[in-house]
Amino acid sequence: MNNNHNDRSKTYFNPYFGGVMLGLILLATFYITGRGLGASGAAKSTVVAAVDRVAPQHAEESEYYSKFISDDNHSMNTWLVFEVIGVLAGAFLSGGLAGRLKLKTEHNPKITIRRRLIFALIGGMFFGVGSQIARGCTSGAALSGAAVLSLGGFITMMAIFGSAYAFAYFFRKIWI
């Protein structure tokens, strides 16, 4: 007999409490580091470190990569890298404690797992390129920007959610 009443995998965190906690963490981040949250900088640091490891001469001669490479400070020695490592570790810990740590792909029954993963990869690539063009991701440009009442932060947030709303109609068959 399966008793789903005590099944922790069906219990989710209260989103309002989560939002308040995110706001407090953002406030603490501004207080401690003088900067807001962000994740795309960690991806950039990882790419710079990889290029520097695989092709050091190219990295030194590149106008872009050379800005982030120095003998005194390794490109992976930034708090953003440790933030993302903490986010990943926290996500695995939370999923493990809640009994939701399983290897599965959520997708519409009308599409294959392969198609779902291809579209997720394409969307992630667009978002990654966009975050570099905008000089920040959702958390860096929108959330942290809006927290300091930056007009650019509000415009970024409206652009992200507005474009998601506009494109959702065209891509709805992939997700629902």
66-94 per-position pLDDT tens digit: 888 877 777 777 778 888 899 899 989 98
Query: 17: pLDDT confidence band, cut at 50, 70 and 90?
Result: very high
Is pLDDT of 173 > 80? no
Residue 164, amino acid:
A
Taking each continuous run of H as one helix and of E as one strand, the counts in the chain are: 7, 0
Closest C-alpha to 141, from 155, 127, 129: 155
Q: Give CA–CA dist 141/38, Å, rounded.
A: 8
pTM: 0.67
**If you average pLDDT over residues 27-36, what whole number do you get?**
84
For residue 138, CA distances in Å to 41, 122, 128 come to 12, 17, 10
